[in-house]
Structure 1
Amino acid sequence: MRVLYIGGTGIISSACVEESVRQGQEVFLLNRGSSKKYLPPPGVTVITGDVKGDQAELKAVLAAHGPFDAVADFITFTPEDLESRLALVEGIAEQFVFVSSASCYQKPPKHYLITEETPLENPHWQYSRDKIACEAILAGQSKLAYTTVRPSLTYGHANLPLVLNSWLHPWTVVERMLTGKPVIVPGDGTSLWTNTWNGDFAKGFSSLLGRPDTYGEAFHITSDEVLCWNQLFQTVADALGVKPDFVHVPSDFCMGLYPDWEGTLIGDKVNSVVLDNSKIKRFVPGYKAEVLWAEGVQRSLAWFREDPSRQTVDAEVNARQDAVIAAFRR
């Protein structure tokens, strides 16, 4: 089976590329070749190109390497992106796999248990609304067979996903814990959440490629381990061997100082959600996420400690944490 990944060097997509190779798929990557954090495994064909560049030229390059049984797109975020991508792969792909987001599910949720049939409605985050619009476009077209996958918060060695941490510099909150600085935990920390190891997600994702029985279907793929944010933060502190200074701050208070936090807070992570993985388990028998949060934290911390140059800190996130905590403690 021949699979093209558009992107393929991010936290999620790099793990999917590795899993596709492990499953014996013939893998191609289309990207700008600028990322050095995740290098493709041996045997992968890298096509260097910019999806925002000359479309006719890029389509000719892809056609020369195609056709493909599946094209998995990890870098489409807006309806405009999607329209361009569909035109790019039309005629050279049997299946288009759109990577959406579990943040598209109804916020606030009317029921804590989330299935793929939960309504897509998020008034609090433009990112999610754009993904929802993309899903609507796919459902309304008939030129390409498609499958939709909605990851929730998924991480790997180079990431430590704690709410209000820095995505690009995840060592930021770790450094705060290590140096005794206070750390924000939104709300009372008891809302339920799931973090998923990227290799576990990849086992489900790559097993959906090239399968006509998945056409027109949507899936989320997560761990079955459900923890509250207090537990998620405390696990990191325990792994570091520190006694943390956690400050529970209402989301509304945080957003009063930084309105752009609305999406990541009430549009996503402070809602109690439990994602039901029954559907992916029906389509991929034997699917099971095996890496628990405590183990994933240890893996991530080990990766950062291997090379101190990876331990970068986001000055803006630090300043925001300090400002919110100072205002809240007045």
Structure 2
Amino acid sequence: MRVLVLGGTRFMGHFLVYRLLAAGHQVTLLNRGATPDAFGDRVARVRCDRAAGDLAQALGGREFDAAVDFTAYTAADGRAAAQALGGGRIGHYVMISTGSVYLVREACPRPSRERDYDGSLLPEPAGEEDRAAWAYGVNKRGCEEEIAAAWQRDRFPATVLRIPMVNGERDPYRRLDRYIVRMLDGGPLLVPDGGGHAVRHVYSGDVVRAIVKLLLVPSTFGEAYNLCMDETPTLTELLELIASQLGAPARLAPIPSAAIRARGIDPVAMSPFSDRWMSMLDPAKARAELGFQHTPLRRWLETVITSLLANPRSEPPGGYEKRAEEIALAAELAGAAGGGGR
């Protein structure tokens, strides 16, 4: 099978390429070439800056059996992909989308199902961080809608996969690592707003396996699927599980986000699983129609933690530069609680 991977040098794309190569498929990578890869001459490469609008020119009418698109973010990206790969030049196009398409919908249920996609959108938020997260979801919706229109109009053979926050080996954002380094340094771990909210993520390996399994399956054309784990621990429960697998005390210190920000600390940089723009999906459709199975939470956590410990980074993850302030704030919090009991 000839597979075009748009992106393919980071995280899930990286693992997908290795899996495709191991299965004997011919892989072509299309990206800007900004991030080095270790694939050598095992893959073909097409250099293209999609933002410059030269996707069709870069592909030059090439044909592929399948394409997996990790770098489609906007309506223009979706429209360009359908134009460049339409007309019978692709057997199956898979767009990697996001649970954020639900977060920007007014009164969207949690967990969100595929049929919850339609509805009025939230107005653009005033705050810069909220506005960026909102724009990401709105732009991904625009991309999805261009792909859906191409299916309806031209039978462009496309499938959309919506995923929540992804955890796995080689996570470039080092989200899980941000908790692990704090648990291992012996200090307390601040938990913004108590950590009582539910968490439902997805393991990167499960997404990659699902992609490979659905390629060239006609029943998925024109459909969208949520991929995520079934378990729904609270953040506190998840952190306690991580600590138990590390063999380290959790030392959790619940504290309001406002108090963290007042000390010049970004709560989400410190605790990425506390981001309020974090989707929660229902994977029932993918289970029923794709046979999607997720790796049990305990098992994939153990795999990722083992990988992180075996391959430590020389630099701490983002947000750790404020660690001394975090510890001081936790000490003040403990002192205030102790003083109130005297």
TM-score (structure 2 length as normaliser) = 0.76
Q: Distance in 2 between matches of 1:51 and 1:199?
A: 27
Counterparts in 2 of 1:313 and 1:122: CA distance versus 1, 3 Å: farther
Q: Which residue of 2 aligns with 1:74?
A: 70
Corresponding letter in the other structure for 2:15: A
Residue deviations 1:193-218, cap 9 Å, x none?
22322111222122222233222110
Residue aligned with 2:277, SS:
helix
Q: Distance in 2 between matches of 1:208 and 1:93?
A: 15
Q: Which segments of 5 or more consecutive residues in structure 2 lack a partner in the other structure? A: 124-129, 337-342
Instruction: Determine whether 1:140 maps to 2:149.
Output: yes
The answer on whether the counterparts of 1:4 and 1:29 sit within 8 Å (CA) in structure 2 is yes
Counterparts in 2 of 1:304 and 1:259: CA distance versus 1, 3 Å: closer
The answer on whether the counterparts of 2:165 and 2:278 sit within 8 Å (CA) in structure 1 is no
User: Of residues 177, 200, 219 in structure 2, which corresponds to 1:171?
Assistant: 177
Q: Distance in 2 between matches of 1:190 and 1:117?
A: 27
Instruction: Determine whether 1:152 maps to 2:164.
Output: yes
Q: Distance in 2 between matches of 1:232 and 1:300?
A: 14
Q: Which residue of 2 aligns with 1:313?
A: 316
Q: Distance in 1 between matches of 2:86 and 2:260?
A: 45
Counterparts in 2 of 1:216 and 1:43: CA distance versus 1, 3 Å: farther
How far apart are 1:323 and its partner, in Å? 5.9
Corresponding letter in the other structure for 1:182: P
Deviates more, 1:216-225 or 1:317-326: 317-326
Residue aligned with 1:204, SS:
helix
Q: Distance in 2 between matches of 1:97 and 1:50?
A: 19
The answer on whether the counterparts of 2:187 and 2:327 sit within 8 Å (CA) in structure 1 is no
User: Of residues 47, 61, 68 in structure 1, which corresponds to 2:45?
Assistant: 47
Q: Which residue of 1 aligns with 2:127?
A: none
Kindly tell me the number of residue pairs found equivalent between the two proteins: 313
Q: Distance in 2 between matches of 1:319 and 1:18?
A: 37
Instruction: Determine whether 1:268 maps to 2:274.
Output: no
How far apart are 1:315 and its partner, in Å? 5.3
Instruction: Determine whether 1:189 maps to 2:195.
Output: yes
Instruction: Determine whether 1:284 maps to 2:290.
Output: yes
Q: Which segments of 5 or more consecutive residues in structure 1 lack a partner in the other structure? A: 160-165
Q: Distance in 2 between matches of 1:315 and 1:7?
A: 23
